Copies of this chain bind each other. A is one copy, B any other.
């Protein structure tokens, strides 16, 4: 005799600087399309408007739960920094939210007793790479996003590294030798300040490039523009250097990299690999694999859902 209990879903929420998304995700890591909703966030919104955006996508996704299906829990991935112990978020690009009790808000909107787990978005991305992406089969993985900013997360020894405050994984604020670009964190020479999409465009413009977006930089690169070529090399080398530093510190197997600017040209990855290869006398550093993300644009939601479906690897 078999009992059909229906599908078991995790409700995933991904909160970022420009949008919040929610969806139901099944135990294979597939997003249930009819349950996927998004709403705008952004620095111009009030705290109440942000809260409403979250409530809205959460309610819509929850309402899409099929009658015979079960809700296992809610996973929230948020732009950092966060305060994991208290379930609060302070996303750098949503300045009205500082120590905002996002987890409590979500708990209040779901059935009593539903588990709700909050982690930084970079950790969620890394969980997704490890579950269904390029990091599958590896125990020591860094997921990275190279986009407007540079972020990431770590899985070491097969489990996530969250840290005492929940902010482990800020690879964007690891420094690059030789660089001194001022960084919003207060430091200088952080790889985000050197090699994010906007900062690579800035560097190119300082060297004579006329465009103003990563897309234009990519087009110029493909057209053979020497400044665009130098800018991509500059960014790729910087990213490779922090991968070498991170591998020296935590001995990674593989780094999986996504985010808009990571697609500027596949050659970006060659420059990263060349920078790591310079550490020729440390085979444990040069052994690290650097690969493009294995995830679609569903990655952040899949990663948030992994907080529930893959709780055994979530520390």
Contact = CB atoms under 8 A, between A and B. Distances in A.
A1 to B, nearest CB: 43
13 contacts: A81-B284, A157-B161, A168-B249, A169-B249, A170-B251, A173-B285, A174-B248, A175-B177, A178-B189, A185-B281, A185-B282, A190-B248, A249-B250
Interface in A77-106: 81
Contacts of A187: 177, 241, 244, 278-279
A139 interface: yes
A193 B187 CA distance: 21
A283 interface: yes
Interface in A155-190: 156-157, 161-180, 184-190
A13 interface: no
A306 interface: no
A178 B178 CA distance: 4
Interface of A: 81, 139-140, 154, 156-157, 161-180, 184-190, 241-242, 244-246, 248-253, 278-285, 287, 315
A173 B284 contact: no
Contacts of A287: 165
B177 A251 contact: no
A163 B156 contact: yes
